[in-house]
Amino acid sequence: MRLLIYSKALYASWVYYSPDRIAFDAGEGISTILGNKVFAIERIFLSHGHADHITGLIGLINIRNSGMGDTEKPLTVYYPEGNWRVAELIKYIEKTNRRLQYPLAWVPIAAGARIPLFSGQCDRYMEAFSTVHSPNEPSLGYNIIEQRRRLKAQYRDLSQEEILELVRAGRREEISESYEKRLFSYGGDSVALNPDDVQGTDILCHDCTFLTEEEREDYKHATLSEALEVALRAQVQEAFLALHISSRYKHRLKEIEEQLIREHPKLPFKVIFVPPGKLFRYE
Ligand SMILES: [Zn+2]
Ligand SMILES: [Zn+2]
């Protein structure tokens, strides 16, 4: 299991990305539903300070201190610098959790920040980018990026044997180059993301509060067609996950999904509607 997601517009949103033990947002229910997995989380990245994305932190921080698990494991929460709602919650949590057994760090970050993740042998880090959501309240989206190596273009037509020969001759560095691969992108519940910010990502989690254009309210979230356009322009490689869907579509998801496939029969990635109010797994 790579992802565990719970997302319902207005109510609660959170995503657990298990390869790097990261939670994106921490809406209500995160610790109740994750159970012992909350002890696995090492980092939490908050997109913004609306209640449906942060209220689960109160329970999670408390459970990590007194539940059945490693109560000394450090936890770091990253959040958009200057977000006053998050700042208020930090004050409350610090006041009411004076004797935590584990180190809890709050790290304000801005767009462009890169945080090393040190997972396994690969060089991975988190990159923050700015999103548009609520006036006077900074919000961020996040990319998990892996530093990889590949053959330089002029060597890609060589046979396996010829490449091995060059490597044996000590020319590995010379024939290869490093590049960055986006593995996962999370945009919170913002309006349509800038496709450049998530270009080439494997998995894109995009707000889809409104599945139909007619029901769009103010310019705060995204519609399905706006998000799909972002996914196409960003050349998403594997899957486009529609999150933060309004519960008004609960009984029409299948129908809207089928209609989308009919209208776009040859999409180069999977389209997945994360059902509002249900725990969703992505392998
Ligand atoms: Zn919001
Ligand atoms: Zn929200």
Residue 229 is predicted with a pLDDT of 97
Which CATH number applies to 3-282?
A: 3.60.15.10
Token pair for residue 264?
């776009």
For residue 9, give the ligand nearest its CA.
2
Residue 121 is predicted with a pLDDT of 64
Backbone CA torsion sign across 72, 115, 108, 20? negative
Residue 45 alpha carbon to ligand 2 centre in Å = 14
Burial level of 139, CB count in 10 A (0-12/13-18/19+)?
A: buried
- Please compute the mean of the pLDDT values over residues 198-208 and round it to a whole number: 98
For residue 12, give the ligand nearest its CA.
2
Residue 216 is predicted with a pLDDT of 86
pLDDT(191) > 70: yes
Q: DSSP characters for the chain?
A: --EEEEEETTTEEEEEEGGGTEEE---TTHHHHHGGGGGT--EEE-----HHHHTHHHHHHHHHHHSSS-TT--EEEEEETT-HHHHHHHHHHHHH-TT-SS-EEEEEE-TT-EEE---TTSEEEEEEEE---BTTB--EEEEEEEEEEEE-GGGTTS-HHHHHHHHHTT-HHHHEEEEEEEEEEE-TT-SSPPGGGGTT-SEEEEE-SBSSGGG--STTS-BHHHHHHHHHHTT-SSEEEEES--GGGTTTHHHHHHHHHHH-TT-SSEEEE--TTS-EEE-
pLDDT(118) > 80: no
Residue 1 alpha carbon to ligand 1 centre in Å = 27
Token pair for residue 241?
């996950």
Check residues 1 and 255 and name the one with the higher pLDDT: 255
For residue 276, give the ligand nearest its CA.
2
Residue 217 alpha carbon to ligand 1 centre in Å = 14
Residue 214 is predicted with a pLDDT of 87
Give the pLDDT confidence of 34-73 residue by residue, as tens digits.
998 999 999 999 999 999 999 999 999 999 998 888 999 9
Give the pLDDT confidence of 245-279 residue by residue, as tens digits.
999 999 999 999 999 999 999 999 999 999 999 99
Residue 68 is predicted with a pLDDT of 87
Residue 128 alpha carbon to ligand 1 centre in Å = 17
Residue 119 is predicted with a pLDDT of 57
Check residues 214 and 16 and name the one with the higher pLDDT: 16
Give the pLDDT confidence of 126-167 residue by residue, as tens digits.
999 999 999 889 999 999 999 999 999 999 999 999 999 999
For residues 70 and 38, the answer to whether their CB atoms sit within 8 Å is no
Mean pLDDT lowest among 70-74, 81-85, 87-91, 204-208? 70-74
Residue indicated by tokens 């042998």: 121
Residue 219 is predicted with a pLDDT of 84
Rounded to an integer, what distance in angstroms lies between the CA atom of residue 80 and that of residue 125?
Answer: 17
Give the pLDDT confidence of 9-36 residue by residue, as tens digits.
999 999 999 999 999 999 999 999 999 8
Residue 232 is predicted with a pLDDT of 98
Residue 33 alpha carbon to ligand 1 centre in Å = 21
Residue 160 alpha carbon to ligand 2 centre in Å = 50
Residue indicated by tokens 């004050």: 91
